[in-house]
Amino acid sequence: MAGRNESTPLPNLPGYTFGEKLGAGSYGTVYKARLTPIVQTRPSSAISTRPIFYAIKCISRKALTKTTPDILINEIKLLKHIKHDNIVEMYDFSWDENYIYIVMEYCAGGDMSMFIRSRQQLSEARARPFVQQIARVLKFLYEKKLSHMDLKPENILLTSIDKPILKIADFGVAQYIGRRGSTSIRGTLLYMAPEILSSLPYDNRVDLWSVGVILYECLFGRPPFVCSSVDELIGEIKSNIPIDIPNDTRISSECRDLLEGLLQRDPNKRISFKDFFRHPFIFIDLSSQISRADEFLHKSINYEQSGNFKKALDYRVRALDEYVAIIKVDDDDNRRHQLRSKVKQGLVAAEALKRRMRETHSNSASTVPTTTTTAAAAPPENFDLNHNKELSDAYQHCLNGNQLMGVLRYGQACEEYQIGLSVMLRARRTETDPMKSKILHDVISFYLSKAELCKNKNEAQQLDINMAKIQEDSVLDNTMLDESNVNTEKKSTSQQNCCLQ
**Residue 42 maps to which CATH number?**
3.30.200.20
User: How far apart, in whole angstroms, are the C-alpha atoms of residue 244 and residue 254?
Assistant: 17
Could you tell me if residue 5 is inside a domain?
no
pLDDT on residue 477? 55
Residue 150 falls in the annotated catalytic set: yes
Type and span of the H or E element at 100:
strand 99-105
Rounded-to-integer distance, Cα 340 and Cα 353, Å: 20
Burial class (CB in 10 A: 0-12, 13-18, 19+), 59: buried
Same domain (yes/no): 121, 265:
yes
Given a contact cutoff of 8 angstroms between Cβ atoms, the answer to whether 410 and 454 are in contact is yes
Helices (H), 96-252: 112-119, 124-143, 206-220, 230-238
Kindly tell me the sign of the dihedral angle through the C-alpha atoms of 186, 190, 195, 199: positive
What does DSSP assign to residue 140? H
Identity of the residue numbered 117: R
Q: Is 493 contained in some domain?
A: no
Dihedral pair phi/psi, residue 21, rounded to 5°: -80, 125
CA 247-325-54 angle, to 5 degrees, is 110
Assess if residue 474 is contained within a domain.
Answer: no
Same domain, 340 and 447: no
Q: How far apart are CA 220 and CA 248, in angstroms?
A: 9
- The partner residues of 33 in beta bridges, in order of sequence, read 18, 54
Q: Examine the fold and report which residue of 59, 85, 105 is the final residue of a domain before the chain moves on.
A: 105
The CATH number given to whatever domain includes residue 357 is: 1.20.58.80
How many structural domains compose the chain?
A: 4
Can you give the pLDDT at residue 470? 75
Same domain, 158 and 92: no
pLDDT of residue 385: 59
Does residue 154 share a domain with residue 134?
Answer: yes
> Contact, 347 vs 474, CB < 8 A?
yes
Q: What is the pTM for the complete model shown?
A: 0.63
Q: Are residues 386 and 442 in the same domain?
A: yes
Residue 476 forms part of a structural domain:
no
Residue 348 belongs to a domain? yes
User: Are 125 and 189 contained in the same domain?
Assistant: yes
CA distance 155 to 158: 10
Domain endpoint, select from 105, 129, 158: 105
Q: State the 10-residue block means of pLDDT for the chain, 501 residues long.
A: 58 89 79 75 50 88 74 82 89 88 91 89 90 93 90 93 86 85 88 91 94 95 86 90 85 92 95 90 80 90 89 88 79 83 87 82 55 43 65 88 88 88 87 83 89 84 75 59 42 38 30
Boundary residue ending a domain (44, 73, 105): 105
Q: What is the pLDDT of residue 455?
A: 87
Distance CA 329, CA 56 (A): 30
CA distance 415 to 60: 43
* Separate counts of helices (H) and strands (E) for the chain: 17, 9
Examine the domain organization and report whether 81 and 136 are in the same domain.
Answer: no
Catalytic residue among 111, 150, 170, 207: 150
360: containing domain? 286-365
Buried-exposed string 12-25: b where 16+ CB fall within 10 A, e elsewhere = ebebbebeeebeee
